[in-house]
């Protein structure tokens, strides 16, 4: 195979082009549009050659990650109408997807392992595991055969080498994504460290194999909507954790297609972390500096679309406090030689929820995406500005417009239709997103690319809980904190295909991203926190109780909720009245915010027990069972 690959010859002209003639299955007949195939390591050559043979692209384009390459692809996509320049900003583009391809598809996401229980827990007969779906290797083989052969016909195959984490860092890992989507190439350039430097750092080592196709070979028989090829009926996002391999088909959307993100940095990485003794988590990382100048780092896990990006870039309203962001979505964490937990953000960009983002709610995110950014499924104004729900007031103030003038503003909504403020329907899709370089964030932490990471003092879990759960509480211990994380629940959001506002379990905010048996995952957490490791404190927060604005709360909460300023309750330590700085807040019902209603918690503990019994079953670690029993006793004693 390798010999055969070496005979691949780069084209004279390395410019991007679409070859329309039919190409044969012979891999040595597939042209190289760009890049030096012969210079790649044998492992990389074999990977490309095998997959090219399988998927039959029109040619192979090895990305170097340069700005010139980015610009060349952008120009092509603008010409074809895939991207629209947002003229009000520098190097910013709007992309509208096929309206059927707008979010992650959890029901079509699978873990493929020989042993089912490497992927999922021993759930009782008839109970469908919600933390990960398992597919047998045999079934996967069939699904693959039914999708991938020839799936890139008529489209170039991009080779995207990328590093999760700073290139060459001790916690970083390298992947190579093969994709037939140029949108994916652009987003990977923003979201990861991508290109030639990564291949240099890789040398002869192994890498995570990522294969992505929009699943619509040419000639295309269906109608392509918005120049966005996809294949919703055949979507499959499959992971082979043991082989460190990802196969994604039929969707071009974010979490389904930017394989460095959820697929690699969470589902595959948590497997690597299990083997190597570290954690891959759905967490933001931020540094909080108090008025005395002391900085502490926090990692926080909230389910998708529950406020990680917002919290990570929070502007404190209590004077003297400072927040700086390290990451807004994913943390890779490992205990260091000094026993402390260190975290890196494996990503290089933010892929954030657009609606609701404004200078009022997240000014720092707004500043970050003023240039070099891609906006997916937002609306556009006649002036070439982006628009989404939550920007109305800001736009009116900025331009000094009356309500009527605002209403008259010509907007093209995410579906490409004319739309006005006040019209029915939405301007932007609720899961529309901005993709922007993290380095452009005004409050990016100076150590955000520190290869060894930043030391974490506290871990926070949270979700959208409309009732019963206090604003904040601290767990009694590492073990108790893990139980708290394991019981995270939240209202469903638009980040995936769920409908309505049902409260769903989302343990550790990882439900859609679990890469292996959840019982083993909990045991892994327990083991890592034991001496000589110094486990961080674990908190639970609920910004979504009442309507109060968390902006005011966090800074006063500080770092020492324990001791004389906290009260011990059944569920953990809660702050005493007066221990949180509420200056400047509208009148707020402290007792209501911090209350622990017995009847609510009695119901909740029954439901929690049922959840763990049915979803983790015999895989539940005994230490967690013990914590659960203790919690139940405390609640009944309320």
Ligand X SMILES: O=C([O-])CC(=O)C(=O)O
- Of 432, 439, 291, give the one whose Cα is nearest residue 356: 432
- Between 510 and 571, CB nearer to ligand X: 510
- Residue 547: how many CB atoms within 10 A of its CB? 7
The DSSP bridge pattern shows strands 374-376 and 454-462 to be: unpaired
Q: Which residues are catalytic, by number?
A: 306
- Between 252 and 529, CB nearer to ligand X: 252
Report the residue from 69, 101, 329, 491 that binds ligand X according to the rule CB under 6 A. 329
Judged by CB under 6 A, the chain residues 476 through 515 that form the site for ligand GTP are 495
Q: How far is the CB of 496 from ligand X (least distance, A)?
A: 7
| Contact call for residue 627 and ligand X (CB under 6 A) | no
The DSSP bridge pattern shows strands 322-327 and 284-289 to be: antiparallel
3-state helix, strand, coil in the chain (%, to 5): 30, 20, 45
Interaction partner, residue 108 (Mn ion, ligand GTP, ligand X, none; CB < 5-8 Å by kind): none
| Contact call for residue 266 and ligand GTP (CB under 6 A) | no
Of 213-221, 300-308, 469-477, 560-568: span binding ligand GTP (CB under 6 A): 300-308
Please give the Cα distance from 362 to 384 (Å, whole number).
Answer: 21
- Of 344, 333, 299, give the one whose Cα is nearest residue 485: 299
| Contact call for residue 355 and ligand GTP (CB under 6 A) | yes
| Contact call for residue 511 and ligand X (CB under 6 A) | no
Burial class of residue 565, CB neighbours in 10 A (0-12, 13-18, 19+): middle
- Between 329 and 506, CB nearer to ligand GTP: 329
Q: Are 249 and 236 in contact (CB under 8 A)?
A: yes
Please give the Cα distance from 364 to 352 (Å, whole number).
Answer: 12
Q: How far is the CB of 470 from ligand GTP (least distance, A)?
A: 15
| Contact call for residue 548 and ligand X (CB under 6 A) | no
Please give the Cα distance from 631 to 571 (Å, whole number).
Answer: 7
For tokens 């398992």, the residue is: 134
Torsion over CA: 63, 197, 334, 538 (sign): negative
Q: How far apart are the first and last CA of the chain?
A: 69
Q: What is the 3-state secondary structure (H, E, C) of 24-69?
A: CCCHHHCCEEECCHHHCCHHHHHHHHHHHHHHCCCEEEECCCCHHH
| β-bridge partners, 489 | 505
In order of 255, 314, 469, 553, the CA distances from 587 in angstroms are 40, 22, 20, 13
- Between 251 and 475, CB nearer to ligand X: 251
Q: How far is the CB of 442 from ligand GTP (least distance, A)?
A: 17
Interaction partner, residue 463 (ligand GTP, Mn ion, ligand X, none; CB < 5-8 Å by kind): none
Tell me if residue 309 falls in helix, strand or coil: helix
Alpha helices per DSSP H over 286-391: 308-312, 359-368
Q: How far is the CB of 282 from ligand X (least distance, A)?
A: 7
Q: Which two tokens stand for residue 191?
A: 């979201």
Interaction partner, residue 255 (ligand GTP, ligand X, Mn ion, none; CB < 5-8 Å by kind): ligand X
| β-bridge partners, 387 | 379
Of 26-34, 189-197, 305-313, 473-481: span binding ligand GTP (CB under 6 A): 305-313
Judged by CB under 6 A, the chain residues 531 through 550 that form the site for ligand GTP are 543, 550
Judged by CB under 6 A, the chain residues 254 through 283 that form the site for ligand X are 254-255, 261-262
- Between 345 and 357, CB nearer to ligand GTP: 357
| Contact call for residue 324 and ligand X (CB under 6 A) | no
Report the residue from 308, 324, 524, 545 that binds ligand GTP according to the rule CB under 6 A. 308
| Contact call for residue 154 and ligand X (CB under 6 A) | no
- Between 329 and 627, CB nearer to ligand X: 329
- Between 329 and 491, CB nearer to Mn ion: 329
For tokens 């991007």, the residue is: 16
User: Site for ligand X (CB under 6 A): how many residues?
Assistant: 9
| Contact call for residue 313 and ligand GTP (CB under 6 A) | no
Please give the Cα distance from 367 to 150 (Å, whole number).
Answer: 43
| Contact call for residue 329 and ligand GTP (CB under 6 A) | yes
Q: How far is the CB of 314 from ligand X (least distance, A)?
A: 18
| Contact call for residue 356 and ligand GTP (CB under 6 A) | yes
Q: Are 349 and 437 in contact (CB under 8 A)?
A: yes
Q: Which two tokens stand for residue 19?
A: 């070859």
| Contact call for residue 304 and ligand X (CB under 6 A) | yes
- Between 492 and 526, CB nearer to ligand X: 492
Q: How far is the CB of 328 from Mn ion (least distance, A)?
A: 8
Please give the Cα distance from 499 to 8 (Å, whole number).
Answer: 49
- Between 123 and 248, CB nearer to ligand X: 248
| Contact call for residue 327 and ligand GTP (CB under 6 A) | no
| Contact call for residue 310 and ligand GTP (CB under 6 A) | yes
Name the closest residue to ligand X (Cβ). 255
- Between 252 and 327, CB nearer to ligand GTP: 327
Q: How far is the CB of 435 from ligand X (least distance, A)?
A: 10
| Contact call for residue 495 and ligand X (CB under 6 A) | yes
Judged by CB under 6 A, the chain residues 349 through 408 that form the site for ligand X are 351
Q: DSSP letter string over 186-240?
A: HHHHHHSEESHHHHHHHTT---EEEEEE-S-PSSP-SPPGGG----GGG-EEEEE
Judged by CB under 6 A, the chain residues 83 through 122 that form the site for ligand X are 104
| β-bridge partners, 240 | 245
Residues within the interface to ligand X (CB under 6 A): 104, 254-255, 261-262, 304, 329, 351, 495
The contact set with ligand GTP (CB under 6 A) reads 302, 304-310, 328-329, 352-353, 355-357, 361, 495, 543, 550
């Amino acid at each position: 195979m390798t010999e055969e690959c070496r005979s691949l010859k780069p084209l004279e002209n390395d410019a991007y082009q679409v070859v329309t003639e039919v190409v044969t299955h012979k891999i040595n007949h597939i042209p190289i549009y760009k890049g030096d195939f012969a210079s790649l390591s044998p492992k990389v050559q074999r990977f490309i050659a095998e997959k090219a043979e399988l998927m039959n692209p029109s040619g192979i384009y090895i990305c170097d990650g340069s700005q010139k390459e980015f610009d060349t692809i952008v120009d092509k996509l603008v010409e074809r109408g895939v991207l629209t320049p947002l003229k009000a900003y520098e190097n910013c583009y709007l992309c509208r997807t096929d309206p059927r391809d707008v979010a992650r598809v959890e029901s079509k996401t699978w873990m493929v392992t020989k042993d089912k229980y490497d992927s999922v827990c021993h759930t009782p007969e008839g109970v469908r595991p919600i933390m990960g779906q398992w597919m047998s290797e045999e079934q996967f083989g069939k699904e693959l055969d039914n999708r991938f052969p020839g799936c890139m016909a008529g489209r170039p195959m991009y080779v995207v080498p990328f590093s999760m984490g700073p290139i060459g860092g001790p916690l970083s890992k390298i992947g190579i994504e093969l994709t037939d989507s140029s949108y994916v190439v652009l987003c990977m350039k923003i979201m990861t460290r991508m290109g030639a430097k990564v291949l240099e750092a890789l040398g002869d080592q192994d890498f995570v194999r990522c294969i992505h196709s929009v699943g619509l070979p040419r000639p295309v028989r269906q109608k392509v909507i918005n120049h966005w090829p996809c294949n919703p009926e055949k979507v499959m996002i499959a992971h082979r954790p043991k082989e460190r391999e990802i196969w994604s088909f039929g969707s071009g959307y974010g979490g389904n297609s930017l394989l460095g993100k959820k697929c690699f940095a969470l589902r595959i990485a948590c497997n690597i972390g299990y083997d190597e003794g570290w954690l891959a988590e759905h967490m933001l990382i931020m540094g909080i500096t108090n008025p005395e100048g002391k900085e502490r780092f926090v990692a926080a896990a909230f389910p998708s679309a529950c406020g990680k990006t917002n919290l990570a870039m929070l502007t404190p309203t209590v004077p003297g406090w400072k927040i700086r962001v390290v990451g807004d979505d994913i943390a890779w964490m490992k205990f260091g030689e000094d026993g402390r937990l260190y975290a890196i953000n494996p990503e290089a960009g933010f892929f954030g929820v657009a609606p609701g983002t404004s200078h009022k709610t997240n000014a720092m995110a707004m500043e970050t995406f003023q240039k070099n950014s891609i906006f997916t499924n937002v609306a556009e104004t006649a002036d070439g500005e982006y628009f989404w729900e939550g920007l109305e007031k800001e736009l009116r103030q900025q331009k000094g417009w009356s309500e009527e003038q605002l209403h008259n503003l010509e907007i093209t909504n995410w579906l490409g239709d004319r739309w006005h403020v006040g019209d029915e329907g939405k301007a932007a899709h609720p899961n529309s997103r901005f993709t922007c370089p993290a380095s452009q964030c005004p409050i990016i932490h100076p150590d955000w690319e520190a290869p060894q990471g930043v030391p974490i003092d506290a871990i926070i879990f949270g979700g959208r809980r409309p009732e019963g759960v206090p604003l904040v509480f601290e767990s009694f211990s590492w073990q108790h904190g893990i139980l708290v994380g394991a019981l995270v629940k939240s209202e469903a959001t638009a980040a995936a295909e769920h409908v309505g506002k049902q409260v769903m379990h989302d343990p550790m905010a990882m439900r859609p991203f679990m890469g292996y048996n959840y019982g083993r995952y909990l045991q892994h957490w327990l083991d890592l926190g034991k001496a000589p490791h110094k486990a961080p404190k674990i908190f639970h927060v609920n910004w979504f109780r009442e309507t109060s604005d968390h902006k005011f709360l966090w800074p006063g909460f500080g770092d020492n909720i324990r001791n004389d300023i906290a009260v011990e309750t059944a569920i953990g330590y809660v702050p005493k009245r007066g221990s949180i700085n509420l200056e400047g807040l509208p009148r707020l019902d402290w007792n209501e915010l911090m209350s622990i209603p017995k009847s609510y918690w009695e119901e909740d503990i029954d439901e929690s027990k049922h959840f763990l019994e049915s979803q983790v079953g015999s895989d539940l670690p005994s230490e967690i069972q013990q914590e659960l029993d203790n919690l139940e006793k405390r609640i009944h004693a309320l």
